[in-house]
Amino acid sequence: MHLHKYEKIWLVFGIASLIVFLSVVGVSAFSQDHTPAGGMETIDPKKVSETAPFDNPGVTQLDDDTYQATIVAMAFGYQAPELKVPVGKEIIFKVTSTDVVHSLTIDNTKVNMMVVPGRITTKSYTFEEPGTYLILCNEYCGTGHHMMYTEIEVYEQ
Amino acid sequence: MIAVQDRKIALWNIGVAYTAFLIGTLCGLLQVFIRNDALQLPAWLDYYQILTAHGVLLALVFTTFFIFGFFITGMSKSLGSFGPKVRLFSWIGFWVTLLGTVMATAMIVAGEASVLYTFYAPLKASGFYYVGLALVIIGTWISSFALVGHYRVWRKNNKGQLSPLFAFMTITTIIMWIIACLGVVATVLFQYIPWAFGWTDTIDVELSRTLFWFFGHPLVYFWLLPAYMAWYVIVPKILGVKVFSDSLARLSFVLFILFSIPVGFHHQLTEPGISNFWKFLQVVLTFMVIVPSLMTAFSMFATFEIAGRKNGGKGLFGWFTKLPWKDIRFTSIFIAMAFFIPGGAGGIINASFQLNEVVHNTLWIVGHFHITVGTPVAMTFMGLTFWLIPYLTGRKFTKSMKVLGLVQIITWSFGMLLMSTAQHLLGLLGAPRRTAYSGYNDHPAALEWFDGILTNHVTMAIGGSILFVSAMILIYIVVMTMFLSPKAVEPKDIVDFPLAESDMSRTPKWLENWWIWIGLALALIVIAYAIPISQMIHHAPPGSEGFKTW
């Protein structure tokens, strides 16, 4: 099959750029642990309030440098009393839903988690700036979707 | 001129497409004003109903019917008139698709299906909404098989020959479409319908999402490939040159069969139930699909340069000014291609694994959608409409139509530029998609998003209004060329189907051995999906009951 010389140059350049892009993304993902929200844990969506850790939602300290924020999403809000976490510490978010699909998205951060009933979504994040952050749902979940929000307070230690 | 019976099928398809376009764009106009809080809807109508209708009617119905109108015309033109069986099944396909569309739309209007066109479980619409969607898919399959039948007859009568490029590309698109639909058919038939009618109590949500996106990404290539067909086989004819390279055109199309399907996880990067390894593998496969698009870009600009130089263009870029800019059949498609440059680049960003977190489900995605399907695809279809309808009805495309056509594509480009730029920027700031308002009770963080010169509701509303005006001009052109313009009698007034010549003498025969491409496509699908889907089923949590949260 005939390829024009310039076309060969164009394709070699294009494919080489793709390889560079993918390598950057791949190295950042698997050697520096920059992976998107996810997790393989499952849960019975009808028994969320009886299943640990969602029987006791909120912030708990795991060790000196790690906290866990356990949050239940439901139409149209988040169940998590007192969302206050320290700045500069690793926060592990664990979220599930009792009804339809939602998201837990924290404005001005990289926390953007799909929340699927029957599954537990996990994301680790370290806040670098103190302040009050808006948490919102960005997956359509019903009439009140645009009213589904809460806040998280990040305090200086 | 193709047979009158074939023209009739094509015209009905295009007629339905533009009816959907009319209602769909009206919904779009309402949305920008509701978000702006400038419009209060009556109690019986709600934002998410309109949003569902906008998505279903434009992204699914307009595109699908238009594509079949274009395919039917081109297949009859390049392979000869349809036989009685092909005609019969094309009609059956058309009516089944239409029946499905009417059922789904009726459920949306009745407020029984405000689940958007992605219909994610466990939002539970009326069972008839899912039956309607299933009929749409089955109808397209019937129409597809009619065209495949027509192609097989041609192949039998022309043994050992490569088929004309238009037919080859149509069959490629249809093969890709049929394989892609298997995912959505599986989830709708075996998960949604039994669950929505109460025959099963629960649904496996993550599995249904995965099967949906198995279909959802190739769906966008089902829209894009007919636009690419116009770029490859229509544009050169308008420019007065041949197809740049027949073999390259065919190769890029078969690569789409391979790489448009095993990539659905890049829509599910931020969700649980799929391990990072499989997400990343599909990200890699997603990037492969960029290769045929790069090939297409090269072919297009090579065609432009050859045509421009033929018209006397000199120097490095002199050919550019020698292109037929006053011909709206060309200018529309050129602008469509130009929009696809940022559109495609945005797609690469979206699919870039962890980078997806920054943009996932924000208004950025809405902007991306409007500069991919909303302009490159839709404006190519508009550019086709300007000659396709007069060709089919035998009417003139008058001078005033040409002027209106130019106004229409310029307004569409300008409106889209405003609206999609605002959406992209708002998305980067964090504003979510698919929301009626996004003020969050005047939360300071939310107010900040809408504070910019380009990033505010007014820019979006102005853009949306210009787009609606443009859409109405187009509807006027469609109605005129379909029913009212004078019949073309003199040879100079007769509108032709611009189908470029393609030199097949050096095209290898193996490119048209479909079993190679179907086999490779299925192998890639098994590699990308078999293990993660079986894990999903084996480690499935208890299913979800349905919810009607609207």
Same domain (yes/no): A71, A146: yes
Spatial contact of B108 and B114, defined as CB atoms under 8 Å apart: yes
pLDDT at B452 (0 to 100): 86
Distance CA B424, CA B339 (A): 14
Nearest residue of chain A to residue B119 (CA atoms):
A140
Q: Which two tokens stand for residue A43?
A: 């849960």
Same domain (yes/no): A85, A22: no
Residue B438: is its pLDDT beyond 80?
Answer: no
Q: Report the domain count for chain B.
A: 1
In a domain? residue B548: no
φ/ψ (deg, to 5) at B399: -60, -45
- pTM for the whole thing? 0.95
In a domain? residue A43: no
Tokens 């279909």 sit at which residue? B215
In a domain? residue A41: no
SS3 string, B383-405, reads: HHHHHHHHHHHCECCCHHHHHHH
pLDDT at A4 (0 to 100): 82
Q: Hey, is the C-beta of B503 within 8 angstroms of any chain A C-beta?
A: no
- Coil, helix or strand for B407? helix
Q: Do B541 and A43 touch (CB under 8 A)?
A: yes
- Taking CA atoms, B324 is separated from B328, B356, B495, in Å, by 9, 40, 17
pLDDT band per the 50, 70, 90 thresholds, residue B107: very high
Spatial contact of B534 and A127, defined as CB atoms under 8 Å apart: no
Same domain (yes/no): A72, A26: no
The shortest CB-CB distance from A114 to any of B121, B271, B283 is to B271
- B289 DSSP β-pair partners: none
User: Distance between terminal CA atoms of chain B?
Assistant: 51
In a domain? residue B321: yes
pLDDT band per the 50, 70, 90 thresholds, residue B425: very high
Spatial contact of A73 and A137, defined as CB atoms under 8 Å apart: yes
Residue B529: is its pLDDT beyond 80?
Answer: yes
Least confident of B59-68, B104-113, B455-464: B455-464
**Chain A nearest C-alpha distance from B248 (Å):** 8
Average pLDDT on A132-139 reads 95
Q: Do B432 and A105 touch (CB under 8 A)?
A: yes
- Taking CA atoms, B173 is separated from B17, B434, B493, B520, in Å, by 19, 30, 33, 16
Average pLDDT on B226-252 reads 95
DSSP state of B272: S
Same domain (yes/no): A25, A66: no
In a domain? residue A134: yes
Give B265-294 pLDDT, tens digit per residue: 999 999 999 999 999 999 999 999 999 999
Average pLDDT on B158-165 reads 94
Percent above pLDDT 90 for chain A: 89
Same domain (yes/no): A54, A30: no
Tokens 């208004």 sit at which residue? B363
Q: Hey, is the C-beta of A153 within 8 angstroms of any chain B C-beta?
A: no
Give the mean pLDDT of chain B. Answer: 94
In a domain? residue B163: yes
Q: Pairing between strand A66-74 and A90-97? A: parallel
Average pLDDT on B444-457 reads 86
Active site residues per annotation of B? 217, 221, 368-370, 433-434
**Chain A nearest C-alpha distance from B9 (Å):** 38
The shortest CB-CB distance from B360 to any of A2, A6, A112 is to A112
Distance CA B232, CA B299 (A): 8
**Residue type present at position B443:** H
Q: How many helices (H) and strands (E) does chain A have?
A: 1, 10
Residues ≥6 apart with Cβ < 8 Å to A102:
A73, A74, A75, A115, A137, A139, A141, A148
Average pLDDT on B322-342 reads 95
Same domain (yes/no): A64, A117: yes
Residues of A in contact with B205 (CB under 8 A): 101, 116-119
Distance CA A145, CA B297 (A): 40
Q: Do B549 and A141 touch (CB under 8 A)?
A: yes
Q: Hey, is the C-beta of B248 within 8 angstroms of any chain A C-beta?
A: yes
**Residue type present at position A109:** T
Spatial contact of A137 and A105, defined as CB atoms under 8 Å apart: yes
In a domain? residue B543: no
Residue A126: is its pLDDT beyond 90?
Answer: yes
- B57 DSSP β-pair partners: none
Same domain (yes/no): A20, A79: no
Domain containing residue A101: CATH number: 2.60.40.420
pLDDT at A93 (0 to 100): 97
Burial (CB count within 10 angstroms: exposed 0-12, middle 13-18, buried 19+), residue B69: buried
Q: Which two tokens stand for residue A40?
A: 């393989």
pLDDT at B521 (0 to 100): 96
In a domain? residue A40: no
pLDDT band per the 50, 70, 90 thresholds, residue B196: very high
- Taking CA atoms, B370 is separated from B23, B118, B341, B345, in Å, by 17, 17, 13, 14
Residue A155: is its pLDDT beyond 90?
Answer: yes
**Chain B nearest C-alpha distance from A131 (Å):** 11
pLDDT at B310 (0 to 100): 92
Q: Do B294 and A3 touch (CB under 8 A)?
A: no
Q: Which two tokens stand for residue A112?
A: 């953007």
pLDDT at B436 (0 to 100): 84
**Residue type present at position B373:** V
Average pLDDT on B365-380 reads 96
Residues of A in contact with B348 (CB under 8 A): 21
Distance CA A142, CA A73 (A): 13
Domain containing residue B304: CATH number: 1.20.210.10
Element (DSSP H or E) covering residue B417:
helix B399-429
In a domain? residue A68: yes
Distance CA B264, CA B211 (A): 9
Percent above pLDDT 70 for chain B: 100
Give B253-268 pLDDT, tens digit per residue: 999 999 999 999 999 9
pLDDT at A157 (0 to 100): 83
Q: Hey, is the C-beta of B546 within 8 angstroms of any chain A C-beta?
A: no
pLDDT at B195 (0 to 100): 97
pLDDT band per the 50, 70, 90 thresholds, residue B171: very high
In a domain? residue A42: no
pLDDT at A3 (0 to 100): 78
Q: Hey, is the C-beta of A131 within 8 angstroms of any chain B C-beta?
A: no
Average pLDDT on A81-90 reads 93
Torsion, Cα B74 B79 B81 B87, to 10 degrees, reads -70
Spatial contact of B386 and B328, defined as CB atoms under 8 Å apart: yes
pLDDT band per the 50, 70, 90 thresholds, residue A141: very high
pLDDT at B468 (0 to 100): 95
DSSP state of B456: S
Residue A1: is its pLDDT beyond 80?
Answer: no
Q: Hey, is the C-beta of B348 within 8 angstroms of any chain A C-beta?
A: yes
In a domain? residue A30: yes
In a domain? residue A103: yes
In a domain? residue B544: no
Residue B36: is its pLDDT beyond 80?
Answer: no
φ/ψ (deg, to 5) at A41: -75, 145
Q: Where are the beta strands (DSSP E) in chain A?
A: 58-63, 66-74, 77-79, 84-86, 90-97, 102-106, 112-115, 121-126, 131-136, 149-155
Same domain (yes/no): A68, A23: no
Q: For residue B260, give the nearest of B340, B179, B187, B185 by alpha carbon.
A: B179
pLDDT band per the 50, 70, 90 thresholds, residue B44: confident
pLDDT at A66 (0 to 100): 96
Q: Which domain holds residue B161?
A: 4-538
Spatial contact of B467 and B30, defined as CB atoms under 8 Å apart: no
Element (DSSP H or E) covering residue B528:
helix B514-538
Q: Which two tokens stand for residue B222?
A: 């089902």
In a domain? residue B546: no
Residue B37: is its pLDDT beyond 80?
Answer: no
Same domain (yes/no): A131, A66: yes
In a domain? residue B445: yes
DSSP state of B375: I
Neighbours of B264 (CB within 10 A): 26
Give exposure, B58-68, as e/b (b: 16+ Cβ within 10 Å): bbbbbbbbbbb
Average pLDDT on A126-134 reads 95
Give exposure, B77-116, as e/b (b: 16+ Cβ within 10 Å): bbbeebeeebbebbbebbebbbbbbebbbebbeeebbbbb
* DSSP annotation string for B128-177: HHHHHHHHHHHHHHHHHHHHHHHHHHHHHHTTTPPPPHHHHHHHHHHHHH
Residue A53: is its pLDDT beyond 90?
Answer: yes
Distance CA B281, CA B302 (A): 33
In a domain? residue B545: no
- B319 DSSP β-pair partners: none
- Taking CA atoms, B423 is separated from A50, B32, B166, B446, in Å, by 41, 11, 36, 14
Residue B162: is its pLDDT beyond 90?
Answer: yes
Q: Which two tokens stand for residue B376?
A: 């490159």
Q: Which domain holds residue A85?
A: 48-155
Same domain (yes/no): A130, A92: yes
Average pLDDT on B314-329 reads 92
Residues of B in contact with A111 (CB under 8 A): 357
Whether the ω angle into residue B486 lies within 30 degrees of 0, i.e. cis, is no
Same domain (yes/no): A84, A23: no
Q: Report the domain count for chain A.
A: 2
Q: For residue B131, give the nearest of B88, B219, B67, B195 by alpha carbon.
A: B195
Neighbours of B259 (CB within 10 A): 23
Angle between helix axes B63-79 and B84-109 (nearest 10 degrees) is 170
Spatial contact of A125 and A110, defined as CB atoms under 8 Å apart: yes
From chain A residues 59-98, the ones with a CB under 8 A of any chain B CB are 75-76
Same domain (yes/no): A144, A118: yes
Q: Do B302 and A7 touch (CB under 8 A)?
A: yes
Spatial contact of A80 and A69, defined as CB atoms under 8 Å apart: yes
